[in-house]
Structure 1
Amino acid sequence: MAAKAFLLFVIAFFFLALSTTTSSAFNITKVLGQYPEYGTFNNLLSQTKLAEQISHRQTITILALDNDTISSIANRSTDELKKILMNHIILDYFDTLKIQKLGKKSAILTTLYQTTGMAMEQQGFLNLTRIGPGDVAFGSGVKGAPLVSKLLGSVVAQPFNLSVLHVSTPIVAPGFGDPVLAPPPPPGSKPPAPAPKKAEAPAPSEEEEGDDEGESPDGAPSPAPSADAPAADAPTKGKSPPSPKDADEEEEAEAPAPSASSKVVGSRIAAATVIGLVASFVAF
């Protein structure tokens, strides 16, 4: 009888210890308390009562902001601040190694804000995108929202319960207040490559330009040379000029023959002359 009672006590104690461990897997306030550079972030989790919700979950990933970065939203209203911070709490475990091994280039992650039932148009989701080797960015899951926050490194990793990742910029989903833009790159950093331009058509060569000038538009033939233009068979430089004899022969050969009307006029004049002479002889 005593042995059975002892056995029941051990079983009850085991389940009590298990339930206590399950309900309080870790204390996020104590975990972040070891890192002073995240002190403001840690305090805001406590002020908004989110630290308690986090500590009651078995698996969680927190996108933490350092003291300098979180100052851009620290003065917002408690309600607005709570919404923004809930979007930095992912309901799954992601460390840097798991992110790099993601098969997809992009992934949609569920945040604590999605559990409120007030999320509209994907406000309770985050967009994780690998934009290059070792280069990861986060943004709101709302369609068209930009990727504003870069993954800077890992702060805490307790597989597969708690992961705290350091990010560069607060992620403010549309409808949660004024967005926070990503900071400009530091001086001396390499600027992003410009978008590729469309290839331009190559300039025509000299031969092509000559061909274009020799032809009229629409395939029409080139205009005929004017009457003033020199003949194609004109003597070229280097040939001897024609001799005077040849020039006379060419002039005689080229002289036009008298027309028929000219012959008639000449005959009439000759006849009149003959008649005049005959008349003069008769008179004598």
Structure 2
Amino acid sequence: MRNSSSRIPGFVLTSAFRTELIVMATDVSLIFIVAFFLAVSTTSTALNITEVLGQYPEYGTFNDLLTKTKLAEQIKNRQTITVLTLDNDSISSIANRSIDQLKKILMNHIILDYFDTLKIQKLGKKSAILTTLYQTTGMAMEQQGFLNITRIGPGDVVFGSGVKGAPLVSKLLGSVTAQPFNLSVLHVSTPIVAPGFGDPVLAPPPPPASKPAPAPKKAGATAPSEVEEGDYDGEAPESAPSPAPADAPLADAPTKGKSPPSPEDADEEEAEAPAPSASSRVVDSSIAVVAVMCLVVSLVAF
């Protein structure tokens, strides 16, 4: 009968011990496999804000300042972050400040929670206080490490320092990108400078309201009050000629712009005059007969 144990010089390997070794080797392999996947998972979820913002040239200055102040490295160590980014024109107002001031200001643009536009609109309250990366430094005084977010209307959201009395200067303009529920990048209008971090940056004033255009005048004859001096020459304006009297003969009405009648026209008018009536011809004949009879009587008497 074959012995169930295996002989190794100086060591006896039983079947039970061999099974235990196999189990132990399997456990060790599982540990290495789990550790490998954890390492891969941690690497894949690292928040590389520099790489994310590198896809948007309009935020290039903000991205460079995150690298310059070494805040990009701190963001990588976070699992959940919301970054309030500024475009190149907006951040130019603080780009020339000292590294210490820039770091403090930009840390207040990094919220230690996930907020996208949808979550902001679902805030139960109109205002909320958010914790920023500056609060983790232990140097924040009063509420310097917090932000105030306020909804002032549907789709209208503003940010400001959490310090009491600080103005809400930065308006939410939209979402740049979102990786739920790890990274959200929101576009804001104005740098948020907490009291004690340097000169504040105020929100630009709203553009002046344009004056309404005057109502067009109705087309029509010019009013007498609008006629300038020197334009009136004793005649009614051509735009409003004076009517002729109702009882005046139509031929007597002056016709503006026509020349006077020529002599030939006058002769034609005389030739066209109407002949005497029959009654006037009888009267003339009676006078002639009386004259002849008077002449005859005078001759007989003589």
Contact 1:22–1:58 at 8 Å: present in 2 too? no
Partner of residue 17, structure 1 = 37
How far off is 1:56 after superposition? 1.1
Partner of residue 83, structure 1 = 104
> Distance between the aligned counterparts of 1:133 and 1:45, measured in 2?
32
Partner of residue 272, structure 1 = none
Partner of residue 115, structure 1 = 136
- Unaligned regions of 5+ residues in structure 1, if any? 191-284
Distance 1:5 1:83, change over 3 A: same
> Distance between the aligned counterparts of 1:186 and 1:110, measured in 2?
33
Percent sequence identity is 81
> What value does the CA root-mean-square deviation take over the aligned residues?
1.9
How far off is 1:3 after superposition? 6.4
Letter in 1 for 2:34: F
Distance 1:94 1:12, change over 3 A: same
Partner of residue 158, structure 2 = 137
Letter in 2 for 1:108: I
Q: Once the two structures are superposed, what CA deviation does each residue of 1:225-274 show, in whole Å capped at 9, x if it has no partner?
A: xxxxxxxxxxxxxxxxxxxxxxxxxxxxxxxxxxxxxxxxxxxxxxxxxx
Partner-residue secondary structure (3-state), 1:147: coil
- Unaligned regions of 5+ residues in structure 2, if any? 1-20, 212-302
Which runs of structure 2 are paired with 1:154-233 in the superposition (5 Å)? 154-188=175-209
Contact 1:148–1:181 at 8 Å: present in 2 too? yes
Partner-residue secondary structure (3-state), 1:13: helix
Instruction: Give the TM-score, by structure 2 length.
Output: 0.60
Partner of residue 98, structure 1 = 119
Query: Is residue 2:79 matched to residue 1:53?
Result: no
Partner of residue 278, structure 1 = none
Count of aligned pairs:
190
> Distance between the aligned counterparts of 1:143 and 1:162, measured in 2?
28
Partner-residue secondary structure (3-state), 2:102: helix
After superposing the two structures, state which structure 1 stretch, 11-20 or 96-105, moved more: 11-20
Partner of residue 128, structure 1 = 149
Q: Once the two structures are superposed, what CA deviation does each residue of 1:119-176 show, in whole Å capped at 9, x if it has no partner?
A: 0010000000001110000000000000000000000111110000000000000000
> Distance between the aligned counterparts of 1:30 and 1:85, measured in 2?
18
Distance 1:123 1:13, change over 3 A: same
Distance 1:9 1:147, change over 3 A: same
Query: Is residue 2:54 matched to residue 1:33?
Result: yes
Partner of residue 242, structure 1 = none
> Distance between the aligned counterparts of 1:182 and 1:95, measured in 2?
23
How far off is 1:42 after superposition? 0.5
Query: Is residue 2:28 matched to residue 1:8?
Result: yes
> Distance between the aligned counterparts of 2:180 and 2:209, measured in 1?
38
> Distance between the aligned counterparts of 2:103 and 2:83, measured in 1?
14
Q: Once the two structures are superposed, what CA deviation does each residue of 1:96-121 show, in whole Å capped at 9, x if it has no partner?
A: 00000000010000000000000001
Runs of 4+ in 1 over 3 A off after TM superposition: 1-4, 19-24, 186-190
Partner of residue 5, structure 2 = none
Instruction: Give the TM-score, by structure 1 length.
Output: 0.63
Q: Once the two structures are superposed, what CA deviation does each residue of 1:14-47 show, in whole Å capped at 9, x if it has no partner?
A: 2243245337522111111111111110110001
Partner-residue secondary structure (3-state), 2:115: coil
Partner of residue 65, structure 1 = 86
Letter in 2 for 1:17: F
